[in-house]
Amino acid sequence: MSFWSTDKIEERQAKAPLITPFDLNRVQQGAYELSMGAQGAISSDGRNRIAKLDPRQAFCIPPGQFALLLTEESVSIPTDVIAFISLKTSVKSLGLVNVSGFHVDPGFTCRLKFWVYNAGNQDIQVLRGDPVFLIWFSDLD
């Protein structure tokens, strides 16, 4: 099993969409940068606040709160591929922790949902459209 290079991501995307919409500028060091989408939710305080976001609108995750973040892009993982996901360092360094899992199953097609926890001591603002997440691809044998 080996991780795909930047070139391979571009080649496979040209054959069959892996990511929709796709932006070639978001392919970085063998990963694709996924962006914050149109919806986020805070649920750990029991009120299940769901926010529908306009482009460039911020979603606030207070300290000590869990949130659900939806990606802007939809992914289509081929059946012979597994994908791995993470948060970008820019939001990790603020205290945001991915608690949802770290892989995407072969054959999965949909937007990704990230469960996150703000382990920091300040509000974390995530803007719709900002690259917040990473996805890597690997062949399965």
Tens of pLDDT, residues 19-30:
999 999 999 999
Show Cβ contacts of residue 32 under 8 Å, excluding neighbours closer than 6 positions.
9, 18, 19, 26, 134, 135, 136
Instruction: Say what the pTM is.
Output: 0.93
Tokens of 8: 């391979």
Would the pLDDT of 112 be above 70? yes
Tens of pLDDT, residues 55-65:
999 999 999 99
Paired strand residues for 115: 68
